[in-house]
Chains A and B, each alone.
Chain A
Amino acid sequence: MRRLCRELERSIASGASELPSALQAHIAQCARCQHLWRLEQAYRRGLHAARSEPVPACEVPWTPIQARLAEQKATKRMPIGRPYAYAGGFAVALLAAYLTWLVRAPQQNAPALLATPSPAIRQDQSLKASEPPKANFAPERAVRPMAPNQVASAAPAPRPNRIAPAATFQKTGSRPKATEPLAQAALTAKARLPRQAEAPSEGSASIALNAEPFAVASLPLSQYELHNSLQVEYLPIHYGTPSSDTDNEGNPHDAIICSF
C-alpha cells in the first residue's frame, strides 16, 4: 500500500472533513482510495441526516413509574416477624406429621416386626424352651390396633398390645397413671408383661415369658415436651417363643425381648 493510501485512511479515521491537495490528487488516480472516500462521504451524509432528524419527546409521566416503584417495594417488603411465623408454622406442621406417624407406626409396623428380625435386641436362645402350640400362633399375627389417645397421652405409659392366643385372649395390665415417671413406667411395663413361671435373671437380655406365647408392647423410650406437656416416644416390643423358628417365614428371631 502506498504512503498516500495510508494517509487517506488516517484522515478518514480522524474524521477530517477536508483533504489536503496531495490527497485529493491521489484520490483522482487511485480507484481504491476513491471508493473509500465516497463511502466515507456517504456515511457522513447519513450521519448528518440522522442527527438532524427530530427525536420525538418522551411522554412517559413520572406517576406510573412511581406507582410501579411503590408496587415493587410493597412486594419486597415482608414484615420481620413473618419469616419466623412461617418457620414456626412449618415446625408445628412437621411435629404434627411426626406425631401422626408415631400414632400409626406401631400399628402398621407390628406385623412387619413380627415378620422380620429387629436388629436391636434378640431373644435369648432359652426362649426356645417355651414353644407354644402352633395352633395358637396364627391368630397372633393380627395386631390389635391401638387407640391414638394411648400414644398421645402425656404419661410414659407402657401399652401392652398383647395378642393372646385366640382362645385365651384377655387384656392384661392397665395403663399407668399420667403422673407416673418414665423409669417407674418402664418397670411397670415389665411387671405387667406376662411372665414365665421360671423366669430367667433380669440381667440377661431377655424377659421371661409366661405361658402366653406372644405379646406386643410399646415401651417408653424417651420423653419430650410438646405444647407444655410431656410426651413419650414408644418402641414396639415383641416377645415370643421358639415357635418363631418354624412358623415365622424362616425367622428364628421373631420373638424379640427388650431389656431396659
Chain B
Amino acid sequence: MMDRALAMDNLYAGAVDRTLTDEQLAAKARAGDSAAMEELYLRYRQPIFRVVYRSTRNIDEAEDIVQDVFLKAFERLHTFREQSRFSTWLMRIALNLCTDRARMRHRRQELLEREADHKLAWSHPNAPDPIEAARQNAFQEAFYTALDQLPEHHRQLIILRDLEEMDYEEIAQILGVSVGAVKLRVMRARRAFKTKLEPLLRAIGELE
C-alpha cells in the first residue's frame, strides 16, 4: 500500500517543473499551487525525517512529526520571508516540533517512571538501575542512552553537527544565531554528552 502511495507521489510530482528552485516552488505554493507543495514535500521529506528520526529513534513518531512539519510549513508559508533558505526554515520548524515532542515524551516518561517506582517499591525493591541496564546493552545502546539523556537543545546540536555533519553556518542559520555561538554551543553539547556517556561506558567496561 505504501509502495502504491509512493508511486502515486511520483506520478503527481510530474505536474510541476522540477528545475524550479525551492524558493520559486515556495512562491507557487504560497499562491496555493498544490503541485509545488508536493514537489517541496518530496524534496525534503527524507532529509527532515533523518534528523527527526535521529532525535526520536522511533519511525512512527518521526513520521508523525514529518507530517506536522509540512502541515505547519504550508500553513505558515506566508510567514516565510526568504531571508533564509526554504530548507533552513523547514528544518527550524522540524527542530521546534522535535523539542515540543521531547517535552511531552519527557513528561510522559516521568509519569511512567513515577508510576513504576511506586509499583517497584512494593514488588521489586532491588530493581536494576540504569547503569545495570546499560551494561546489558551494547556500546551503541550506551551511546543512544546518553544521547536520550541530553536536554533537547544539546541533542539537536549533536545531531546536526556530529551526526548529520552540517556546517556551522547552516546550523547558525537554522537556529538564528551567530556561527561563534553555534561553535560554543556545540562544544558545550559535546561536553554534556560525554558527561552522560562516561558512566555508561564504564558500566559496560568500555572505559576504565
Quick check: B190 and A43 within 8 Å, CB to CB? yes
Quick check: B66 and A60 within 8 Å, CB to CB? yes
Q: Is the interface of A mostly helix, strand, loop or mixed?
A: helix
Quick check: A45 and B6 within 8 Å, CB to CB? no
Decide if A1 is an interface residue (CB 8 Å cutoff). no
Do A65 and B67 contact each other (CB < 8 Å), given the known contacts A47-B162, A49-B143, A59-B2?
Answer: yes
Quick check: A50 and B70 within 8 Å, CB to CB? no
Do A65 and B41 contact each other (CB < 8 Å), given the known contacts A42-B201, A60-B67?
Answer: yes
- The residue in A35, A40, A55, A62 that gathers the most chain B C-beta atoms within 10 A of its C-beta is A62
Quick check: B6 and A59 within 8 Å, CB to CB? yes
Q: How many residues of B contact A (CB 8 A)?
A: 45
- Give the residues from 157 to 208 in chain B that come closer than 8 angstroms, CB to CB, to chain A: 162-163, 165, 187, 190, 193-194, 197-198, 201, 206-208
Q: Closest residue of chain B to A44, judged by CB?
A: B162
Quick check: B163 and A42 within 8 Å, CB to CB? no
- Pick from B63, B193, B194: contact of A60, CB below 8 A: B63
Residues in B whose Cβ lies below 8 Å from that of A170: none
Residues in B whose Cβ lies below 8 Å from that of A55: 49-50, 53-54
Quick check: B140 and A66 within 8 Å, CB to CB? no
Q: How large is the interface on A (under 10, 10 to 19, 20 to 34, 35 or more residues)?
A: 20 to 34
Quick check: B163 and A43 within 8 Å, CB to CB? no
Residues in B whose Cβ lies below 8 Å from that of A59: 2, 5-6, 63
Decide if A81 is an interface residue (CB 8 Å cutoff). no
Bound-complex Cα distance A51 to B147 (A): 13
Quick check: A46 and B6 within 8 Å, CB to CB? no
- Give the residues from 42 to 74 in chain A that come closer than 8 angstroms, CB to CB, to chain B: 42-43, 45-47, 49-51, 53, 55-66, 68-69, 72
Bound-complex Cα distance A46 to B41 (A): 31
Bound-complex Cα distance A153 to B140 (A): 88
Decide if A147 is an interface residue (CB 8 Å cutoff). no
Do A62 and B9 contact each other (CB < 8 Å), given the known contacts A43-B197, A55-B54, A72-B75?
Answer: yes
Quick check: A51 and B12 within 8 Å, CB to CB? no
* Residue positions of A touching B, CB distance < 8 A: 13, 35, 38-40, 42-43, 45-47, 49-51, 53, 55-66, 68-69, 72
9 interchain residue pairs of minimum CB distance = A61-B5, A46-B143, A58-B49, A59-B2, A62-B38, A55-B50, A60-B63, A62-B9, A58-B45
Known: A45-B139, A57-B46. 12 other contacts (CB 8 A): A35-B207, A38-B208, A42-B201, A46-B139, A46-B143, A47-B163, A53-B140, A56-B59, A59-B2, A59-B5, A59-B63, A69-B37
